[in-house]
């Protein structure tokens, strides 16, 4: 297995305007560095502890994406360096990110996670909740965050129709909310699609995919 080859193959199979976040959770530094040496810079982790450890050890020009659920009490560990937080699911969390970002004199870009899967285990808010947050008065006061788009995870199933309809729903939500852009809301990113479903996601309008096992091999 060659990370360099996998990455090159994947990149050549997707349109240039689709951004690729290489998901490195559980993977050793050597494999991440292989992707880095080939020029890749956007990497994603789903746990704060693993993210901060890898940030410390690896080259500082890596753009680190937090793609997993984030607890409010852990925002402080990533606020100084995180590039994009994908799975924001409440206004309370946005307020905490804003507070920590302010301490580092940064504006942190965030995506609102919309729950599109039928499974209970998936985090996220409804499209209505996201709409309320985007137009809310208290959001406009949070000058150290920017809502840059939406993120979602489809049901883990081989039924392509289910996956497609969930991605289409997210895309239509994205389109519906886009007119409400304001000083700290600029919906440009639609983060959907993983190793098993990124092709469908792109067909449904994704412009950021999060792919791990297809690049780095299966996780244990």
Ligand X SMILES: *Cc1c(COP(=O)(O)O)cnc(C)c1O
Beta bridge partners of 66: 45, 85
Chain positions contacting ligand X, by CB under 6 A: 23, 25, 46, 67-68, 153, 194-196, 210-214
Q: How far is the CB of 140 from ligand X (least distance, A)?
A: 28
Q: Identify which of residues 77 and 123 has a Cβ nearer to ligand X in the complex.
A: 123
Can you give the length of the chain in residues? 220
- Here the tokens at position 119 are 């499974």
Q: Identify which of residues 23 and 145 has a Cβ nearer to ligand X in the complex.
A: 23
Residues ≥6 apart with Cβ < 8 Å to 129: none
Q: Identify which of residues 178 and 195 has a Cβ nearer to ligand X in the complex.
A: 195
What does the alpha-carbon distance between residue 199 and residue 14 come to, in Å, rounded to a whole number?
8
Q: How far is the CB of 87 from ligand X (least distance, A)?
A: 7
Q: What is the CA angle 30-19-24, rounded to 5?
A: 25
Q: 69 to each of 46, 85, 113, 122, 184, how far by Cα in Å?
A: 7, 9, 9, 9, 22
Q: How far is the CB of 21 from ligand X (least distance, A)?
A: 8
Q: How far is the CB of 193 from ligand X (least distance, A)?
A: 8
Q: Identify which of residues 68 and 149 has a Cβ nearer to ligand X in the complex.
A: 68
Q: Identify which of residues 12 and 121 has a Cβ nearer to ligand X in the complex.
A: 121
Q: How far is the CB of 153 from ligand X (least distance, A)?
A: 6
Cα 68 → chain centroid: 8
């Amino acid at each position: 297995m060659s990370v360099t080859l996998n990455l090159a193959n994947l990149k050549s199979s997707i349109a240039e305007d689709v951004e690729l976040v290489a998901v490195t959770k559980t993977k050793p530094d050597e494999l991440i560095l292989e992707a880095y040496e080939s020029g890749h810079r956007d990497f994603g982790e789903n746990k704060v502890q693993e993210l901060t450890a890898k940030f410390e050890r690896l080259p500082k020009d890596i753009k680190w994406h937090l793609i997993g659920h984030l607890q409010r009490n852990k925002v402080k560990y990533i606020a100084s360096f995180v590039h994009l937080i994908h799975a924001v699911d409440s206004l309370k969390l946005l307020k905490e990110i804003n507070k920590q970002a302010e301490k580092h004199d940064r504006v942190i870009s965030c995506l609102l996670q919309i729950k599109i899967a039928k499974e209970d285990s998936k985090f996220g808010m409804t499209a209505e909740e996201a709409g309320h947050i985007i137009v809310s008065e208290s959001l406009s006061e949070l000058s150290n965050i920017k809502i840059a788009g939406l993120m979602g995870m489809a049901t883990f199933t081989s039924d392509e129709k289910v996956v497609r309809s969930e991605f289409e729903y997210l895309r239509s939500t994205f389109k519906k909310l886009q007119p409400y852009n304001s000083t700290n809301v600029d919906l440009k990113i639609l983060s959907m699609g993983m190793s098993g479903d990124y092709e469908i996601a792109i067909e449904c309008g994704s412009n950021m995919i999060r792919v791990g096992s297809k690049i780095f091999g299966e996780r244990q």
